[in-house]
Amino acid sequence: MNNFEFSNPVKIIFGKGQLVKLTKNIPLDKNILLIYGGGSILKNGVYDSIKEALKNHNVHEFSGIEPNPRYETAMKAVDIIKLQKIDFLLAVGGGSVIDATKFIAAAALYAQGDPWDILSKRSPVKAALPFGAVLTLPATGSEMNSGSVIERNSTNEKLAFGSPHTFPQFSFLLPEAAATLPKHQVANGVVDAFMHTMEQYMTYPANAPLVDRFAESILQTLIEEGPKAYENPANYDAMSNLMWCATMALNGLIGCGVPQDWAVHMMGHELTSQFGIDHARTLAIIAPSHYRYNFENKKQKLAQYGERVWGISNGTMEEKAQNAIEATVNFFHSLDVNTKLSKYTDNYEGTAQNVAKRFNERGWVKMGERQSLTPADVEKIVEMSY
Ligand code: NZQ
Ligand code: ZN
């Protein structure tokens, strides 16, 4: 097992009828900015429950955070924060709203220059406004981590940052509110949580059997419960399990002591910024090619995954590993998630070269769990995904 440090300060409040506890979790003297997206919370009752719970607090509002949240929009919220002297943020919605809130929290207190540097130059975040989250979409894990991904319209770039200052203080997890999700968003959630687990698991053996089994249990639960939630988002039990899986998949626990990859996400973000493809679907496009291309490096874990998660017991290690990749593809297809770029756009020619060029320009020249993946490899993987 590798050395690690693990600290996660996020308080989780899970389940039905929990929003009444909001009032206890935000001091009465706070001047709050309630941040949300395109209005799903107005339709599923979450907005009303929050307003009721916070009726004795001073609450301002900022709406219109887009899926794949934009820097330009986030900066408008920063202006309001300065004008209204806001000192607490409440993010309500999916990963995009929570990610935007993390960036807004950091940008509002950023004194070293242009807040875009936090993303483009990884300029360190030295402080951030305190914030909490109310989650209505299981997928990203943003509710229990300190990471955030923001896109800039003017440059078409989608970049990530993270800081110990951008953990939510608390997160309410509301499987009941997720009942109103369109089915394709539930599929996105299953695939994103699955791929978060895979990015931390599908590497090479590191003598970390406990962490391996944490990861395998998340994958198995997603395979069992994900299709039920996809079939009927109002299935509270299935949605509850999906939501907790998604949170556990990216709160740091299953990354302890093991090598991590994340190249699938790096390539996937480029497909979102170039074509607007949903985040999870970009991962489903890239992952199979990534595992085929890096087969020699990953085949031991692929075979272990095949055996333990998919019950593949026949064949050589290589055959089990190949069949495990096929089982993964079939699982994504069973959720109506396509795994080829050409199914999403006719304009895919040249994409691989563009992605490789951008990685070179940013100096992203050593990726993957062995730091051995180069932009030239990335070009081949993206091309295999057409
Ligand atoms: O904007 P509203 O009206 O709320 O509608 C949203 C949005 O249109 C809707 N929605 C959310 N909850 C709903 C609902 N509709 C009906 N009923 C509900 N209960 O769903 C749409 C998509 O929401 P979004 O927040 O964009 O989805 P998701 O949670 O999948 O977040 C995706 C973003 O997270 C980033 C992605 O890159 C992407 O920008 N990621 C963040 C990570 C992190 N912070 O750790 C890790 C991930 O790998 C990922 O990169
Ligand atoms: Zn993701």
User: Per the structure block, which two tokens stand in for 188?
Assistant: 């996105």
CA of 367 to the centre of ligand 1 (A): 26
Task: Say if CB 386 and CB 340 are below 8 A apart.
Answer: yes
Which ligand has the minimum distance to the alpha carbon of residue 189?
A: 1
* pLDDT tier for residue 47 given thresholds of 50, 70 and 90: very high
Strands 31-36 and 58-62: parallel
pLDDT tens digit sequence for 288-299? 999 999 999 999
Ligand 1 and 166: CB distance under 6 A: no
Percent of the chain at pLDDT above 70?
100
pLDDT reported for residue 220: 98
Closest to 254 in 3D by CA, of 6, 39, 62: 6
Closest to 157 in 3D by CA, of 278, 272, 282: 272
pLDDT reported for residue 294: 98
Query: Could you tell me the fold of the domain covering 183-384?
Result: Dehydroquinate synthase-like, alpha domain (1.20.1090)
CA of 302 to the centre of ligand 2 (A): 20
pLDDT tens digit sequence for 275-322? 999 999 999 999 999 999 999 999 999 999 999 999 999 999 999 999
Long-range pairs for 344-349 at CB < 8 Å and ≥24 separation?
Answer: 344/275, 344/277, 344/281, 344/285, 345/275, 345/277, 347/275, 348/386
CATH 1.20.1090.10: which residues of the chain? 183-384
CA of 19 to the centre of ligand 1 (A): 20
> Which residues touch 234 (CB under 8 Å, ≥6 apart)?
179
pLDDT reported for residue 7: 97
Ligand 1 and 63: CB distance under 6 A: no
pLDDT reported for residue 134: 98
Cα 249 from Cα 196, distance rounded (Å): 6
pLDDT tens digit sequence for 147-158? 999 999 999 899
pLDDT reported for residue 22: 98
Ligand 1 atom closest to the CA of 41, numbered from 1: 4
The residue whose CB lies within 8 Å of the most ligand 1 atoms, and thus the one to mutate among 157, 279, 281, 282, is: 279
Mean pLDDT of the chain: 97
pLDDT reported for residue 92: 98
Query: Does pTM top 0.85 for this prediction?
Result: yes
Helix (H/G/I), strand (E/B), else coil: 181: coil
CB atoms within 10 A of CB 123: 17
pLDDT reported for residue 41: 98
CA of 244 to the centre of ligand 1 (A): 16
Q: How many residues does the chain have?
A: 386
CA of 353 to the centre of ligand 1 (A): 28
CATH 3.40.50.1970: which residues of the chain? 11-176
CATH number of 11-176: 3.40.50.1970
User: Per the structure block, which two tokens stand in for 29?
Assistant: 């003297």
Ligand 1 and 351: CB distance under 6 A: no
Residue nearest ligand 1's atom 47 by CA: 140
Cα 9 from Cα 144, distance rounded (Å): 8
Task: Say if CB 106 and CB 128 are below 8 A apart.
Answer: yes
User: Per the structure block, which two tokens stand in for 288?
Assistant: 């199979």
pLDDT tens digit sequence for 129-142? 999 999 999 999 99
